[in-house]
Amino acid sequence: MNNPPHLFTRSTEAFFYNLKPLPLQQMLDYDFICRKAKPSLAGIIHPGRKGFHKAFFGSKEIILPIYSTLQDATTKHPVADVLINFASFRSAYSSSKEALESPTINTVVIVAEGLPERQAKELIALARQKNKWIIGPATVGGIIAGQFRIGHAGGLMENILKAKLYRPGSVGLVSKSGGMMNELFNIIARTTDGINEGIAIGGDAYPGSTLLDHLRRYEANPDIKLLVALSELGGKDEYEIIKAKREGKLTKPLVILVSGTSASIFPWEVQFGHAGAKAGKEEESAEAKNKALREAGIIVPDSFEELEKTIKKTFLSLNLPAKEEINPPGMPLDYNEAVAQGLVRKQTQFTTTISSDIGEEPTYGTIPMSEIIEQNYSVGEVIALLWFKKKLPTYFTKFLELSILLCADHGPAVSGAHNAIVAARAGKDVISALCSGLLTIGPRFGGAIDDAARYFHEAGDKKQDPTNFVEEMKKKGLLIPGIGHRIKSKRNPDKRVELLKQFSQKNFPKTTYLNYALEVEKITLQKAENLILNVDGCIGVLFVDALVSSGKFANEEIKEILEIGYMNGLFALARSIGLIGHILDQKRLNEPLYRQPMEDILYQL
């Protein structure tokens, strides 16, 4: 492995593999507080994606290009020599291998935890062959103070500011544990002039670069005066450090602690959280390694509690001139964070009062989805929650369902079905064909229910004499909505209407408006056989009866319900069932484009 003191500088450009907005943004935020002119990320590599990702550089929004392959990215950005690999443990091997084989990439950081040892060994061998560096696997990354941040290392901005990681100090830190990095950053900030570089190598058995690899870089870096390392039981890397120390390759004061002394109290082997943290042999135990390090003249504190004092003492003995302090720029607060802290407020653009998707599970009204399923809600009861915003009596929801059943279809010839069929045969998709059919619903098709409900509600409320009502409509030149049928008549009654009447008379508390409509029917029947209360009219008046007799709605509410088109909604909902049926039917039949026969058209120019 080559041994440059610096793997990362202020001008390092890196690729980020696998789009992870948070760590990516954290890297850019770090660039900003270090007052860098340019962000450290050249682009993002995300298999299967292309385009751009929006992120912030300070308070300015920038776009980072997304490439679907590493090759595209390296061709476009030959200067970028680092890959921050956030691929999962399943795919980290192949993407890292590709990066090591790519001529412009010099350093690969592997974040994934759980990479098989064999794959790690192969990557290590490849890196050696190509004279390149690997940090990780299972690393949280690292910080090169004032220059570059890898991923999550350093944690929150608050930590970074507190530990003054935005400007270089004199301490080079390397740790197996990434989770301990912030703890160590804080300890070093309290006891020294600060971190110069801190790298977590990861807790695997075979890290891509070892503690010693980084200590040797720090040794070669003239700005670093004190070396600190946190190691763990397992592995034999410490003996390499001892060898380097003995050979005079590590001359700067070095403080190391190997954790895991507690392992020896257990009669059997304990596998700690990191894959490499298991002492197979005595020489790999924390005690043995601490002892050997101490014997080699390396500074080893007695415990983690002693580490802080030891670092402080060692640093003070160096008698370094004080570092000049700099002020980092203020970091803009993220909008979401500001909201969470109650620092800002903003008017909303939308209001909803019927359902929510912000909690643990979606709700209809305030009722969670699981309750809807567990309590066996019917379609009518769901409509009650979403349309009427309350639970409604069973006769009401049953009536809604009955109406849906009755209005679901009326054959292929009616305008809605016809339109849907024509659109389907023109090769349009289900949704387009459905819309084409639904768009015919209105005053002349399917609209009678709504109108019947309105007129009979008004007349019934006024207790207008039925004869009077019929006369008034005639004077206005209006047909009475809901009255009249093409074929059915008094002697040949519509069975659907009969069933609806029976249902309502049996189940509704009152059928005042139906009774009124039947009075009106008596009068219209005197004029013609077929002027009966039809199914639309019957549904319309019964809807009014349901609303009024439920006692759940004020008169104003009822007026509003009738005004804004609930019944049109119900009809559209019901008829969608039939329309979709026709569309699917046409598609199954593979019917060709429909053209109106010319003989069906009167051409009169």
Partner 1 sequence: MGRRKIREFDAKRIIADNILQYGKVNLINNAVLIGPETSLENLPQHYPWLSRTKLVVKPDQLFGKRKKLGLVLLEAGWEEAVRWLKEYHNKEVTIGTVTDRLTHFLIEPYISHQEEYYLAITSERDHDIIHFSLQGGMDIEEQWDKVQKIAVPTLQEEVDLDNRIPEQLQPFVKAIFQLYRDLDFTYLEFNPFTLDQQGQVILLDTVAEVDDCAQFRNGKRWGDLPFPPPFGRKSFPEEDYIAKLDEESGASLKLTVLNPQGRIWNILSGGGASIIYLDAIANHGQAGSIANYGEYSGNPTTEESYQYAKTVLDAMTRSPSIPGGKILFIAGAIANFTDVEKTFTGVVRALREYQEKLRAGKVSIFVRRGGPNWEKGLELMKRTGLELRIPMEVSGPEMPMTMMVPKAMEKVR
Q: Known catalytic residues?
A: 274
In the complex, the smallest distance separating the C-beta of residue 24 from partner 1, rounded to whole angstroms, is 12
**Range in contact with partner 1 (rule: CB under 8 A) among 43-51, 268-276, 398-406, 570-578:** 268-276
Closer of 333 and 382 to partner 1 (Cβ): 333
The string of DSSP letters for 214-280 reads HHHHHHH-TT--EEEEEEESSSSHHHHHHHHHHTTS--S-EEEEEE-GGGGGSSS----SSTT---S
User: Which of residues 1, 19, 62, 270 is near partner 1 by CB under 8 A?
Assistant: 270
178: nearest Cα among 20, 349, 23: 23
Count of residues engaged in binding partner 1, rule: CB under 8 A: 66
CB of 431 to partner 1, least distance (A): 36
Distance set, CA 330 to CA 33, 194, 477 (Å): 7, 20, 75
> Could you tell me where the DSSP H helices lie in 252-378?
286-295, 304-316, 335-340, 369-374
Which stretch, 176-184, 407-415, 464-472, 529-537, contacts partner 1 (CB under 8 A)? 176-184
Among 61, 282, 305, 599, binds partner 1 (CB under 8 A): 305
What distance in Å separates the CA atoms of residue 104 and residue 100, rounded to the nearest whole number?
A: 9
Dihedral of alpha carbons 30, 153, 103, 19, sign = negative
Rounded to 5 degrees, φ, ψ at 221 are: -95, 110
In the region spanning residues 13 to 32, those forming contacts with partner 1, defined by CB under 8 A, are 22-23
From 170-178, 442-450, 494-502, 566-574, span contacting partner 1 (CB under 8 A): 170-178
In the complex with partner 1, the residue whose CB is nearer, 112 or 452, is 112
- Can you read off the two tokens belonging to residue 92? 């980290």
Pick the piece of the chain touching partner 1 (CB under 8 A) from 203-211, 310-318, 385-393, 413-421: 203-211
In the stretch 494-513, what mask flags binding to partner 1 with x, by CB under 8 A? --------------------
Indicate the DSSP class of residue 442. B
Q: Give, for 303, the enclosing helix (H) or strand (E).
A: none
Q: Is 194 left (phi over 0), alpha (psi -120 to 50) or beta?
A: left
Amino acid identity at 238: E
The smaller minimum CB distance to partner 1, of residues 260 and 416, is found at 260
The conformation of residue 294, written as its DSSP 8-state character, comes to H
Nearer to partner 1, 28 or 384 (CB): 28
Choices 173-181, 310-318, 385-393, 398-406; region in contact with partner 1 by CB under 8 A: 173-181
First-to-last CA distance in the chain? 90
Question: At 207, phi and psi to the nearest 5?
Answer: -70, 150
**Residue closest to 481 by CA, chosen among 514, 456, 459:** 456
Q: Return the number of the residue (181 or 538) whose C-beta is nearest partner 1.
A: 181
Cα distances from 55 to residues 9, 36, 136, 336, 482, in angstroms, run 22, 16, 26, 14, 60
* Residue 341 or 376 with smaller CB distance to partner 1: 341
Biggest distance spanned by C-alpha atoms of the chain:
119
Stretches 181-189, 377-385, 495-503, 546-554: which one binds partner 1 (CB under 8 A)?
A: 181-189
CB of 21 to partner 1, least distance (A): 12
For helices 211-220 and 237-246, angle between their N-to-C axes, nearest 10 degrees: 30
Report the residue from 222, 267, 330, 359 that binds partner 1 according to the rule CB under 8 A: 267
3-state secondary structure of 559: helix
Nearer to partner 1 among residue 139 and residue 196 (C-beta) = 139
Q: Is 271 in the site for partner 1 (CB under 8 A)?
A: yes
Task: Annotate each residue in 544-583 with x if it binds partner 1 (CB under 8 A) or - if it does not, as one string.
Answer: ----------------------------------------
Q: Report how far Cα 281 is from the mean position of its chain's Cα atoms.
A: 46
In the complex, minimum distance from the CB of residue 149 to partner 1, in angstroms, rounded to a whole number:
11
Residue 129 or 394: which CB sits closer to partner 1? 129
Compute the least distance from the CB of residue 420 to partner 1, in Å: 45
Site string for partner 1, 273-302 (x = CB under 8 A): xxxxxx-x-----x----------------
- DSSP strand pairing (226-232 vs 195-200): unpaired
Nearer to partner 1, 273 or 509 (CB): 273
Please list every residue from 107 through 166 that binds partner 1, using CB under 8 A: 113-118, 121-122, 124-126, 128-129, 140, 152-156, 159
Restricting to residues 221-260, name those near partner 1 by CB under 8 A: 230, 232-233, 259-260
For partner 1, give the closer residue by CB, 46 or 425: 46
Q: Among 304, 387, 445, 594, indicate the residue that binds partner 1 (CB under 8 A).
A: 304
Nearest to 457 by CA among 512, 387, 508, 407: 512
Q: Which of residues 82-101 bind partner 1 (CB under 8 A)?
A: 89-90
User: What token pair was written down for 37?
Assistant: 């002119």
CA distance 161 to 182: 12
Binding-site ranges for partner 1 (CB under 8 A): 22-23, 89-90, 113-118, 121-122, 124-126, 128-129, 140, 152-156, 159, 175-183, 186-187, 203-206, 230, 232-233, 259-262, 265-278, 280, 286, 303-305, 308
